[in-house]
Amino acid sequence: MHEVFGVIAPHPPIMVESVGGARSDITSASISALAHARSLMEEFAPETIVIMSPHAPAARDAFIIDDSPELSGSLAEFGAPQTSMTFTGDPELASVLLDMLADRHVPALSRDSIPSMHPGVLDHGVLVPMSFLDPAASSRLLTISVSYLPLETHRVVGEVVAAAAASLGRRVAFVASGDCSHRLTPDAPAGFNERGTEFDAILTNLIAEGDLRALLDIDETLIDAAGECGLRSFITLGGFAPTSPTEVLSYEGPWGVGYLTAIVGHGATPRSGMKQGMAGSAEHPLVTLAREAITAYVNHRTIVQAPSLAGLDLPGQAGAFVSLHRNDELRGCIGTIMPTRDTLAEEVIRNAIEAAVNDPRFEEMTTDELVDLYINVDVLHAPEPATFDELNPATYGVIVTSGRHRGLLLPDLEGVDTAQMQVDIATRKAGLSVGSKVELERFKVDRYA
């Protein structure tokens, strides 16, 4: 499986210092997150960046692909004509993309064929993210408009972008430009709707969990109430990178608009942490048990008998997470916070099978995937109440609780360096907005690979 990279990027012009001045500091979380995404973009070194912008000239019943050999624009309409960018286009990729979309019966037009759409002109939905992600314009650029075709069609477009890039051997990154709800507060520019916060919590949680396919299932009335502009771009990214890990880098809602920054694929920290424990290596007996459970169930639909774990210095009962990886990408992760079975062995067997065949983010595992499957098992100690000052993401996992909402994040995850970051991610996993009042618990983990 080839490596992919994608970014979900907000696009408020005020975030750019030449436009917002000191006010751009209000979006410091987004700015820092985009700086991190830029470093990963530079590592990935794409030949072409494909970006979908909700503010590019659009047609209701077709996607518009800009096949211009050069693309340029400035933020002059926002008072910053000095902030301008010029990119080399990718007409070859655009041509292949148009042909492949036609083969899939997806309506798409060349922007160059419609002079009134000003081919080659970049809108702020492109300029703002790219001023952070590729300020030197070092990659070629191809822009795509959203359409008002069904949401499912946007996911197909993402799939076709990936296929078109592969057919040319082109290393492509995908940027999904878009903001979340525009109706978070009474002074929001699009007016207030109390469901805006609900939409952003669901959206952010699904992306944090890597379940971009489930974005298609968000209730239409909730989408309408939120007044969003990024959902179609995010769904398209999900088609481009359907099985890659995701990581939410920041979410904030100044001025009544939700700004989300996330990465997909290269550099994203999987929820499960370490990617070790491959068949044939010197793996821990718990990992071997998980592998045997998955192999027996995938091949024969049988459930292995739980062995005795006596002599292994393991608890009799405990919550456990089983995480699976292939080709350095998450392939499944299911766990329990507290024990739900009579023995730890039964807990691991049950969660291993669930991770392989019932993780809603992935298709059921097939026999040919068993050969190069990485597995690790996290055994959770009992959680204990904690204050914020008692958290340490290197040592303790965290559980946040608010009413019936509960979110967990394992400890010692790459890229999760502060207690605040840990709590923010767990809060989003609970389906809550960052900053919500939550109760905190901490727990230790014994990680086996």
Q: Region 353-377: what's the mean pLDDT?
A: 89
Contacts of 189 (CB under 8 A, 6+ apart): 182, 255, 256, 257
Q: Is the pTM of this model over 0.85?
A: no
CA distance 297 to 348: 13
Residues 308-318: tens digit of each pLDDT: 888 788 899 99
CA distance 395 to 215: 33
Cα radius of gyration (the chain): 23
Token reading at 428: 């989003």
Half-sphere exposure of 159 (CA within 13 A, CB side): 13
Q: Region 33-47: what's the mean pLDDT?
A: 94
Number of helices (H) and strands (E), helices first, in the chain?
11, 18
Alpha-carbon distance values, 79 to 14, 21, 120, 257 (Å): 10, 11, 21, 21
- Tell which CATH classification among 3.60.15.10, 3.30.43.10, 1.10.150.120, 3.30.700.20 matches the domain 285-380: 3.30.700.20
pLDDT at 54 over 60: yes
384-448 topology per CATH: Dna Ligase; domain 1 (3.30.1490)
Residues 414-440: tens digit of each pLDDT: 678 899 999 999 998 888 888 999 999
- Confidence (pLDDT) at 320: 94
Alpha-carbon distance values, 388 to 124, 347, 398, 416 (Å): 39, 30, 10, 15
CA distance 6 to 160: 15
- Confidence (pLDDT) at 282: 53
Can you give the residue ranges of every domain in the chain? 5-265, 285-380, 384-448
The backbone torsions φ and ψ at residue 162, rounded to the nearest 5 degrees and listed phi first, read -60, -40
> What is the full DSSP assignment across 310-352?
TTS---SS--EEEEEEETTEEEEEEE-SS--SSSHHHHHHHHH
The backbone torsions φ and ψ at residue 409, rounded to the nearest 5 degrees and listed phi first, read -135, 130
Which residues share a beta bridge with 52? Answer: 144, 176
C-beta separation of 235 from 185 below 8 A: no
CATH architecture of the domain formed by 5-265: 3-Layer(aba) Sandwich (3.40)
- Confidence (pLDDT) at 373: 87
